[in-house]
Structure 1
């Protein structure tokens, strides 16, 4: 029987970058194939080629044994390929049903037959074993249901091959397990799926085989029962990787941040907590439950009500004043809030502090020598590659962009660090490095507020864990509570709290 998808010699060049170098890959009917690799390894480029968003420079593709040369995503859809993107491609003011039929409107040019679409969508949901409210607007749905809509949209278009890009980034552990059950059942019916993820534990849990890409080339394909987390990490990075950063007990000191009844529109509904020096306090929760509003309120980026005290004094509600007080901020979106992509590393390394000494020199001009020395310290200390201070930030991979942001914020020697999604979209090697730096900063006495949708990250780093649901803190847990309990005890309790169920 012909393979579901076969690629041979796929090559794609961009200026100064060989993104895909003669890649060969095959996907069998009835299997879930995981695709893993570091940021910049070429995974996304390869999938964009498969889905018709980019043309290959060289190489051949086959779908079900037939030559396949897509010129657009419409060709991919016609070939039976569907893709669920990391950032959902939904029209938020439209209903679920309207999103499902968009581009494939049933009926005539003069009459839209939504009832026909409703019957087909209902039958699909019955077959798949999950439900979404067809008449609800997308903007009113939690992210877990929005992802179901994306999957349903692909299957409504009769996708037999499903590509999922970082699909669990916005899910609770329970929702992720539901997704895995769906993928296994989908493949068991004779379909096929490609699962792209940085979460190696999930990769081993859901996939039949794993293909690893490094520096634009396939370095190997392994069957999941015969491999391990450590082997996959080594294949991805080309060296041994510490998957869980060694961390001693916290030594909390004085209260650095005190929050009482903090409210910020539209989702933050009154939270209270403290963060002390020498500890990492983690905020867990599915995205969209007030975490963004919390971070922006604390860093002076959003108006708010309530009390915020920093070292015993009210924290000024202006971003520049917050920064000057000694608060650093790793924003959740490095490209929108953390970097000016067309600025060099030299310029980005002092972003937010460029008006202060020692960077502001004689007559108010920037001191070029100081900027260069500071940028050189950043790229060396935080292992930014390539080791160039003159390259623009957009020329670096996502992981190295994140290192620039983390390095800038930690080199300021702050008293408080607000770290929002510090390793989002970052490969396993960069995750290891950033986690080590955060633990070292904690051990030097830094107070860290860690906000992350990655539950494994929170469990690995946090000394105390607060769970947010619908704009409120609904529980507090510590890793010590898991001692003497069955494996997965803490993850299960946190997952229930994240879903609004008392644990």
Structure 2
């Protein structure tokens, strides 16, 4: 099933009507849900209905209250007011255990797995089947294999989680909730970290689940995926319920406008301009991955001032290793890297930053933020020792918070006034905005943007794309690495296709098409 399909994943409508012709009772109903955090209202009288065998997409801007609503349904938060009905019965959802007992399972955006444990050990953790005084691991493996085959999930029960792909880890999370008997699945931003191929596979899995009678609530910003897999779409804006619509009757532009409250320009506007001097030069770069296997194999590239070089490729072909080397987090085994004519090979991250490179990292929580630090502190991570943020070695709280207030307003970081809130308390999309605000405002000669719009809504994506083009127009060199082909094609002046640790082919930005790029991304040729 292709991601570009504009039609539904299957014919017909979900089981909204019983055999006798009467309207079927919702399996989940949330009525007038309100959730307050102090003076901040995250959910403001939100309504939700989900029927058996239905995929209901929940669409809203970053910080609109989508995850809060699902955390309430899963018992991780208590509503300030409102009521929840499961299969027509009013319930007090006071814990995840209660939700699980009612057949509700949740797959979180950031997976809850233990890397050194095997797939089977992760799935049964907390629900171990016993045989006398010992865990019946063989019996559990048999049940997991049966579930895996039934729902086309196909995992290796003996593999360690740390050794499998992100897409496979997500399958493990889905199997965890199925193993516990879930009939209602909540998927929070399930495709945020997946490759295009893994997204296709997930769409197939969701289709198999609904055909088996499972009901799915899916939070996503990706309109194509909503059009591909969802029956209905519920829109939330700034915590308020807007509408629930039949997906087949709405275009992607309609959904985007309802979500943001205005028409969204989804086409990047960019004038042609001549690039300037070479900002970044990489020659004959070789490197090994964490297993000691060579992952970069003589890679060459150049980024010039005033241009965006986009790298298109399937995850795992050396993109992460390339960025880690360029930013000083790892070292190459061979090769030359020059930034503005100066050798930055084997330099520290601080030295490389001072030399003129800023970056939006692939993993915002691992490399982009200190989650326990405030938003204001995260916005000055690289220049906390400079004026006006520091004086005589003492941090200047007022100057730091004033800077944060400006960035929050300029980059629409939500909720407003979150300067002193820990970055880990923000939604994933707003965490990404904090990083983008910091790195763009650093005003370095080269900006590396690795999946810069991951987890952002269409309005925020439009905003970030404008900023990247604006920086390019000001003469900055930008290396864009993205698994979203539309993003690479829409923004790039030049496109390089990376495969097996090397640049397979280069294109002018206006010459590339998805088919040809996809061909080279898979190692083929025209």
CA distance in 2, matches of 1:240, 1:458: 23
* Unaligned segments of structure 2, at least 5 residues: 1-23
In the other structure, the counterpart of 1:127 is 150
For residues 144-159 of structure 1, the aligned pairs below 5 Å read: 144-159=167-182
> Structure 1 stretches of 5 or more lacking a match?
none
Alignment partner of 1:36 is 2:59: yes
* 1:443 alignment counterpart: 473
TM-score where L is the length of structure 2: 0.84
TM-score, normalisation: structure 1: 0.87
Q: For structure 1, which segment, 442-451 or 206-215, has the greater mean C-alpha deviation from structure 2 after superposition?
A: 442-451
- Give the aligned partner of residue 276 of structure 1: 304
Given the alignment of the two structures, is residue 232 of structure 1 paired with residue 246 of structure 2, yes or no?
Answer: no
Does the alignment pair 1:218 with 2:241?
yes
Matches within 5 A, 1:8-47: 8-47=31-70
Determine which of 464, 468, 482 is the counterpart of 1:452.
482
Q: 70-79 or 23-32: which moved more? A: 70-79
**C-alpha distance in 2, partners of 1:396/1:116?**
41
Aligned length: 495
Displacement of 1:413 in angstroms is 3.0
Correspondence 1:430 to 2:460: yes
Q: 2:341 aligns with which of 312, 319, 323?
A: 312
Within the candidate set 183, 186, 202, 2:209 is matched to: 186
Preserved CA contact (<8 Å) 2:371 2:422: yes
From 376, 382, 406, the equivalent of 1:352 is: 382
Give the 5 Å matches for 1:331-480: 331-334=361-364, 337-339=367-369, 348-356=378-386, 359=388, 378=407, 381-383=410-412, 391-392=420-421, 394=423, 399=429, 401-468=431-498, 473=503, 476=506, 479-480=509-510
Q: 1:296 aligns with which of 324, 328, 338?
A: 324
1:266 aligns with 2:290: yes
Is the contact between residue 405 and residue 419 of structure 2 (CA under 8 Å) also seen in structure 1?
Answer: no
Cα distance between partner residues in 2 of 1:346 and 1:171:
30
Rounded Cα–Cα distance in structure 2 between residues aligned with 1:209 and 1:304:
49
Structure 1 stretch displaced more, 193-202 or 315-324: 315-324
Cα 1:8–1:420 shift into 2, 3 Å: same
Aligned partner of 1:3 among 26, 30, 54: 26
Q: Alpha-carbon deviations, 1:270-308, whole Å to 9, x = none?
A: 433221222212234455554333323212233443321
Question: Which sits farther off after the overlay, 97-106 or 224-233?
Answer: 97-106
Paired residues for 1:477-492 under 5 Å: 479-482=509-512, 488-490=514-516, 492=518
Question: Is the contact made by 1:3 and 1:64 (CA closer than 8 Å) also made in structure 2?
Answer: yes
Cα distance change, pair 140–250 in 1 and its aligned pair in 2 (3 A): farther
Change (3 A) 1:470 1:383: same
What's 1:170 paired with?
193
